[in-house]
Structure 1
Amino acid sequence: MGVHSVNWEPFLTCAVTGAGDTLSKHPDLPVTPEQIATAAIEAAEAGAAIVHIHVREPATGKGCREVAYYREVVERIRDSGVEVLINLTTGMGGDVVVGDRGGEDTPAPGSDFVGAMERLVHVEQLRPDLCSLDCGSLNFDDDRLVYVMPPAYLRPSAARIRELGVKPEMEVFDLGHVAFASRLVAEGLVEPPALFQLCLGISYGAPSTPAAMVAMRDHLPEGAVWSAFGLGRMEMPMVAQAMLLGGNLRVGLEDNLWLRRGVLASNADLVRRAKAIVEDLGGRLASPKEAADRLGLPPA
């Protein structure tokens, strides 16, 4: 891969709410479309160039795939006039909970598993600047939850996203995911510059360590743009690590709920903390326009 240098002007993504069972841990977690949009706008005003959006069922707080909620969030952000790139998740619809008796009781209650194209309905209708593309399957907890995204789903998903004119943010959770995402680029299903998000700290994916981030970065194809994040208490250490290794950054309540021990964060708080780290290291956060230019996108 050659010599890498510090990325003195990284762009930052804020992952606003996610889909995990975190509402019980954070009473101010954004749940309704209005709350999610407001949090995204605040994150952008604090310095985020990109906002990564999941939606939740307002009555329960659980993650969902309801297109109407995505539409309201996107319209509220766009109508606000704030300059920010919008990145919609396509990860919902891949969860399989495995039962005790295999095929007899799988998928078990709690599963949400649909086909590749159904995971893209909101992207087709709303045409965001970017959308995530989880580039492989993974044991997602220490019990029964498996995230399923096989190559037979990934190739048509990537092709459809390309047809829609949306930039895929390829989320990779281990080196096997990096390998397949790189193949999507080589096969012409993802146009350069390819964007990789190195996801560190999921129980059975790559850990939140400098060594893991270096290994994943060093397996990326030539010319790739990359970003990285760590979960929980490793969120801010991985901000510094990603910048120093030449990458871009991600923070947000999807990944970490805490500003410091005993103090719950807002998305804007986490963006400001990451911005301070970047500036203390002698850099600055890139603007949405600069991020768009690097990714080959129209300005926000």
Structure 2
Amino acid sequence: MQLASKIALFVTLLFSGINCYAQTETYLLPFNSKVAINPSFAGLNNNNSYHTGNQYFYINGRQTYNLFYGSWDSYSEKLKGGIALSFGQGLISEQNISTSEFGFSYSGFPIKTKNGEILLSVGTNLVLATKQWTVAFLDGVITDRNDPSSLPGKAFLRYSITKPKVGFLWTNNSLQLGLTAAVPYRIDIATDAIEPPESVTPVSLTLYLAKKINKKVKDLYSRPFMFSPELVVFYHEEFIFSRLSLLSNHTDKTWGFFVQNDFTNNIHSLGGTIGYRRNFISVNLNAGMGVPGISDDNAFLCELSLNIIVPPFNYSKIYPWATNKN
């Protein structure tokens, strides 16, 4: 009975925000930067990682979103955990808003389970929203002081958002399951808003689920390719979205497909992924379109990303060919 009531409450919350359209953030989640999805991935497996890319999401002539992002994460022996730094530059065309986001997170506090471990993480992001630079420039050059201004108003700096967040990630040899919760706190800076902001639910939730297919076959990684399914679900009153992807990682190539659902704007996209990898560097392209008939608009989304993942090196000057001893 308790489980049924919890499911009913979750469904009620899930569909309560579908009619909210005035977004305060881009809410675009990168395809390849897992730290942006769950901060518990910071420094996972003692890797040093850098991810950067640009994601573009066109819904119609009025609604367009863009996100340029970069993230770096590494494992710190002194802090006994992973640390991550992130940056994002976003665009909300409907409101002529540009956002700049800076983030820091720490992942650690490992909890051993029967067949894996749980990693906990904490962090915070700061978002600064301004009037879109081109619109602000044109308003300053073309319009007079007493003329009405373009959206969102005359002031350049609009508002700030502080987003403390916590997360957990349960991982073992075959599965990864994580949840991230963020509590945004908005401070309005401009007082000349043409359209007053709508009230929003302060909590956002991100669910991550992936099947790890990296088990050894007779102690050897000899398979020519590996399939890895992944599911991401994001909930906020302003935006509800899910993405299911299936990737095939070959020796130096990556290909796959994904289904992405923007429930807020009723956009259901089908797309593909292609990538090339050499040593520790990979370049991936993800592109898709809204499926006609079930989507309200013929939307288009595209992301080009650069990923660098450097594993730890175990080297001994005395015994350079010796294997690492755990």
Give the alignment's TM-score, normalised by structure 1: 0.38
Q: Which structure: greater helix fraction?
A: 1
Give the alignment's TM-score, normalised by structure 2: 0.35
Work out which of the two has the higher radius of gyration on C-alpha atoms and give 1 or 2: 2
Higher relative contact order, chain-length normalized (CA < 8 Å, sep 6+): 1
